Amino acid sequence: RLLDAAGADAVVGRSEGYWLSEADFVSTQEASTARTLGTLGFPRDWPGVYTSSKPLKSLIGKKGRCAGKKVGVVGPPLPEELDQVKGLTFHRLQSFSNAERVQRQTGFPVVQGWAVFEHHDLPVSAAFVAERYWWNALPEGK
């Protein structure tokens, strides 16, 4: 289900909002496109992969294609955090609108960056993909 900026079903030619494009996915796997990414998941061999994987460094290292100033692992929200977004429905691959709706409801600021996943259909630490991704920061900076 694709929603517009107001949360209604998107209509081609009439709706306004933020949607992912091909440029919002950067993969270390040659000839990979957003439609051919395969099975993605949390990087296996964590945290060792962060310092040992050349493909991952080529993606998010200091000189990487999506060079990261700060890298962190974000776990699932705690029950008390989920209570603050009760009533909101979240949609896969629509992090931009998800984060903006959370900000409107809670005041939590939007953080813009990248989510990094590993290609799980390839050998461990062989290839990674970054998806342009927005999320919200909690008051204590989490």
The C-alpha atoms of residue 129 and residue 116 are separated, in whole angstroms, by: 6
Which stretches within the chain are classed as H helix? 48-52, 54-60, 79-83, 95-106
Query: Taking CA 85 as the corner, what is the angle to CA 81 and CA 109, rounded to the nearest 5 degrees?
Result: 80
CB atoms within 10 A of CB 65: 13
**Quick check: 5 pLDDT over 80?**
no
Tracing tokens 């989490």 back to the chain, one arrives at 142
- Per-residue pLDDT tens for 44-63? 999 999 889 999 999 998 89
Question: Is this prediction's pTM over 0.85?
Answer: no
Question: For residue 131, what is the DSSP state?
Answer: E
Mean pLDDT of 112-140: 93
**Quick check: 13 pLDDT over 80?**
no
What is the β-pairing status of strands 40-41 and 25-27? unpaired
Structure confidence at residue 71 as a pLDDT band (50, 70, 90): confident
